[in-house]
Amino acid sequence: MSGHFGRAGRRGFAVGGGYLLVAAGLAVLGVSGALSGLRVAHSFAFHPGLQDALNEIDNVLAVAGAVLVVATLTAVGLVKVGGFRSPRVAQVDSWSSREFTDLGRRRRSRVRSVLVAVFAGGIPVVASAGVCLAVLTTSIGTEVSSGPNRPIVAALDRLAPGGELVVGFSYAMPMVEDAVSLPLVSRIEAAAGARGVGSHVLRLDLGSLSSSAGQYDILGVGVSEPAGSPLAWSAAQGCGDISAAVDRAAGIPAGSSVSIDGSPVRVVAVTSGLSATNRIGVVMDQAAMATCLEQDPSAPVQAVVLDTSAAQARLILAAADRGAEPAVVVSRARYLANSEKFWTSNVKPITNILALVSGLVALIAMAGAVNGRLLRNRREYASKLASGVSIGVLRSTELLRAAKDGLVASIIGSILGLVVVPLTNMTEPGFDAGVSEKDILVGCAVGLVGCLGGALLRTARLDRTVDVAESTRI
Amino acid sequence: MTRRTKTARLDPDPASSMSGRGGVAAELVGVTKTVNATSILDGVSLSVRTGEVVLIRGASGSGKSSALRLLAGIDSPDEGTVRLLGVDLAGVVPRARSKLIRDRVGIGFQDPLLDNALPVIENLYGLARVNGRFSEHRRADRERLAWLADTLRVAHKLHGLTAVLSGGEKLRLALGRALMARPDIVLLDEPTHMVDSAGKKALYESLAAIVAAEAVTVIVVSHDDEARGFAHREIIFDRGRAFPA
Ligand SMILES: Nc1ncnc2c1ncn2[C@@H]1O[C@H](COP(=O)(O)OP(=O)(O)O)[C@@H](O)[C@H]1O
Ligand SMILES: [Mg+2]
């Protein structure tokens, strides 16, 4: 007896000493490491094939999510309907919605009875968080990838629609440095007008805006405003009298006065969809932009947009006589593709990995939850197995429960995502992450694969987890 | 020594009749079981005829539960033969054992092992229902449910939570669950364990009423005096061996 205590005591002393030593070592290492900026990294060369594969993950997950949601809803629905005729199925459905052990719960709540009737009687918290995380990373990935190019797309869609563009040089990038001189612009407009083809000028300017709210980098989009438009401007008005529409991302209300590149500007309208990540979109008359912001009334424009076919556009450009000036016709699609190459940061592989990781976390967590439930209820499961219930029936019970949990997690996680994703827009001016159907489907894939996969993993060896002989003995 | 073979199917032993009064319903022949170098059962043989009510008595630790668990196929012996309803349990795959149990055998464990979070009524029918032996659409099944609940005196608690039942009510409920699927034989391990004398009496009276009505074979492990008048015959266990009373 005394030997027993003596040995345990000495061992405890030695192990405790080990703990203290490791703690002291980590304290020293932690402080010195933090101060010296210790960082562990190993660089692998960029792998384009891997990037392409990862780029597709969100699409694959979205399709998987759509298939799984439909399949799971159908399966659970069929079980509920089937239970109407088959008492066995009804019993599996009932068992799958509740724990067997009471866990000290003595009262029944209305909310829980609804949960039991419709889903699995509880809220799978970790799986819901996984779904939310997947929705978040996918929607942020989409925004970070496409956000920078958004104002160019919007400008061409809404402010200067048309099929073809005349630009200074087809590969001229960045576009803000592309140039078509004003005399050539006038000749192109005249040639287009003679053929009854509409034309628009597109002028881009990178500048800065200061308001009482703060200072922002802006992307100025200038178009020729027709006389009478609230944004129209003529040289006679002077640089003290400019009107502009500012993207809602800046949070500047109409009626405010701001200053852009030193010129006072009146905000007469709030627009949307024209901000790039970290660059607020501002729309104004292109002449005001050249004269007051660029301080050069004869500054060339970035593009002339022609509302016609490529062949027609080439005829118009030829008729306009470009002389020695470089100018070519590019299609709208080509222009956007070039712009995309220049602006777009391809972070999707990274955010896709995050979506996968959240799926993996959900899977591991749900496998753990299933295992925990099997262990918690192992005596109840064991008594059923001993009483002749087949393993297949109990496995179906767990899978059905997982299907219901996956649906709940998908719903709750998506709703959380709808709330959380817009909040990220507060962190960066012009950041405009939103939840699309695709983001939600990726989330659903994560939730359903996590729950169903976790249950499949853990029920594969249900008879090992639940030792019938051991668990039915007192 | 018999060995468990994976391929053997459910195959009734022609030596014992499966039906009719007087046939052998359950049988242990020369069964031994050793756990952790300790002998638990040391050459046990016993035989119970169809329709018989047999009481197994003996000191705590004498091997009564172990013998019953062998009969139920929950454990397997080191040596000897276990025959239940004409089936040599060592010769059937687990799936066939499951089917035999769910179709023809009721089991009452020493601990009631109820689903405490479920309503009382679901504990009564759930097992039989998932095994395809109870249907709410069948009038006879509904009537049996009501009759069992009545006889076992849990009818007034059917829609309450199982967790809050008294110890005696839980034991009677477990008994009802074992009987719900109209088994040919019930194996009950101390069905009155931890209940006062009045509770024991109530339970055996209920059981006697059911046995009288259904001619079910009963093997019950108990050291209650209350059980003695109810059984046709007693078997005494002593240190891993079985003796006729
Ligand atoms: N799986 C097991 N592991 C260890 N000991 C066991 C096991 N099963 C039974 N025993 C032992 O075998 C003896 C008989 O047990 P049991 O059959 O439960 O007795 P009874 O039901 O007659 O009280 C006891 O001493 C018990 O501790
Ligand atoms: Mg016992």
Residue of A nearest to B132 (CA): A88
State the count of interchain CB pairs (< 8 A) between A and B.
92
Q: For residue A104, what pLDDT is reported? A: 64
d(CA A269, CA A252): 10
Report B:47-86 residues touching A (Cβ under 8 A).
Answer: 65, 69, 72, 74-75
B37 lines ligand 1 (CB under 6 A): no
> Tokens in use for A134?
């997947």
Q: Taking the CA atoms of chain A, what radius of gyration do you get in angstroms?
A: 32
Looking at the structure, tell me whether residues A352 and A416 fall in a common domain: yes
| Residue whose CB lies within 8 A of the most ligand 1 atoms, among B33, B39, B40, for a mutation test | B40
Nearest to B113 among A105, A380, A388 (CB): A380
ipTM of the complex: 0.89
Q: For residue B8, what pLDDT is reported? A: 39
Nearest bound ligand to the CA of residue B67: 1
Identify whether A335 is part of a domain: no
Q: How many Cβ atoms are within 10 Å of A51's Cβ, its own excluded?
A: 15
b/e B126-148 (16+ beta carbons within 10 angstroms → b): bbbbbbebbbeeeeebeebbeeb
Q: How many structural domains comprise chain B?
A: 1
Phi-psi region of B49 (alpha: psi -120 to 50; beta: other; left: phi over 0): beta
Helix (H, G, I), strand (E, B) or coil at B163: helix
Contacts of B103 in chain A (CB under 8 A): 388
Looking at the structure, tell me whether residues A364 and A453 fall in a common domain: yes
Q: For residue B195, what pLDDT is reported? A: 79
On whether the CB atoms of residues A175 and A340 are closer than 8 A, the answer is no
Kindly state the percentage of chain B with pLDDT values over 90. 60
Identify whether A321 is part of a domain: yes
> Tokens in use for B83?
């025959």
Query: Chain A closest CA to B205's CA: distance in Å?
Result: 24
Looking at the structure, tell me whether residues A382 and A434 fall in a common domain: yes
B30 lines ligand 1 (CB under 6 A): no
Minimum CA distance residue for ligand 1 atom 8: B66
Residue of A nearest to B163 (CA): A102
Last residue of a domain, one of A281, A300, A326: A326
Identify whether A32 is part of a domain: no
Identify whether A232 is part of a domain: yes
d(CA A377, CA A122): 16
B240 lines ligand 1 (CB under 6 A): no
Terminal-to-terminal C-alpha distance of chain B: 28
Cα B160 to middle of ligand 2, angstroms: 30
> Tokens in use for B136?
């709410």
Looking at the structure, tell me whether residues A193 and A255 fall in a common domain: yes
Last residue of a domain, one of A264, A295, A326: A326
Cα B99 to middle of ligand 2, angstroms: 25
How do A280-285 and B217-221 pair as beta strands? unpaired
Q: For residue A48, what pLDDT is reported? A: 77
Q: How many structural domains comprise chain A?
A: 2
Q: What is the pTM of this model?
A: 0.78
Place of tokens 């006697």: B208
Residue B142: pLDDT band with limits 50, 70, 90 = very high
Strand order across the B105-108 sheet: B105-108, B185-189, B217-221, B53-58, B233-238, B241-244
Per-residue pLDDT of chain A (474 residues; tens, 9 = 90+): 667 778 888 888 999 999 999 999 988 888 787 777 767 777 777 777 887 887 788 888 889 999 999 999 999 999 999 988 999 999 999 999 888 887 766 666 777 777 776 677 777 888 888 889 888 888 888 777 777 777 777 777 777 776 777 777 665 555 666 778 888 888 888 888 888 888 888 888 888 888 887 888 888 888 888 878 888 888 888 888 888 999 888 888 888 888 888 888 899 888 888 887 778 889 999 888 888 888 888 888 888 888 888 888 888 888 888 777 777 888 877 777 777 666 665 667 777 788 788 888 888 888 888 888 888 888 999 999 999 999 999 999 999 999 999 999 999 999 999 998 888 877 777 777 788 888 899 899 989 998 999 899 888 888 888 888 888 886
- For A369-373, the CB contacts below 8 A with 24+ separation are A369/A124, A369/A126, A369/A454, A370/A398, A370/A402, A370/A454, A370/A455, A370/A457, A370/A458, A370/A459, A371/A458, A371/A465, A373/A99, A373/A398
Domain carrying residue A382: 49-146+343-471
Cα B190 to middle of ligand 2, angstroms: 7
Looking at the structure, tell me whether residues A319 and A280 fall in a common domain: yes
Beta strands in chain B, from DSSP E residues, in sequence order: 24-35, 38-49, 53-58, 79-84, 87-88, 105-108, 185-189, 217-221, 233-238, 241-244
Looking at the structure, tell me whether residues A173 and A322 fall in a common domain: yes
Domain carrying residue B44: 2-244
Q: For residue A1, what pLDDT is reported? A: 61
Residue B126: pLDDT band with limits 50, 70, 90 = very high
Last residue of a domain, one of A326, A352, A367: A326
How do A242-247 and A263-271 pair as beta strands? parallel
Minimum CA distance residue for ligand 1 atom 26: B61
Looking at the structure, tell me whether residues A435 and A467 fall in a common domain: yes
d(CA A232, CA A143): 32
B63 lines ligand 1 (CB under 6 A): yes
Helix (H, G, I), strand (E, B) or coil at A23: helix
What's CA A381's distance to the chain center, in Å?
42
B130 — contact with chain A (CB < 8 Å)? yes
Q: Which atom of ligand 1 lies closest to the CA of B64?
A: 22
Q: CB burial class (10 A; 0-12, 13-18, 19+) of residue A176?
A: middle
| Residue whose CB lies within 8 A of the most ligand 1 atoms, among B39, B66, B223, B238, for a mutation test | B66
| Residue among A347, A301, A95 at smallest CA distance from A199 | A301
| Residue among A274, A243, A273 at smallest CA distance from A260 | A243
Which CATH number fits the domain that encloses residue B221?
3.40.50.300
Strand order across the B79-84 sheet: B38-49, B24-35, B79-84, B87-88
Contact A387 B127 (CB under 8 A): yes
Looking at the structure, tell me whether residues A320 and A349 fall in a common domain: no
Contact A102 B163 (CB under 8 A): yes
d(CA A291, CA A298): 8
Distances (CA, A) of A110 to A100, A216, A407, B146: 19, 52, 20, 27
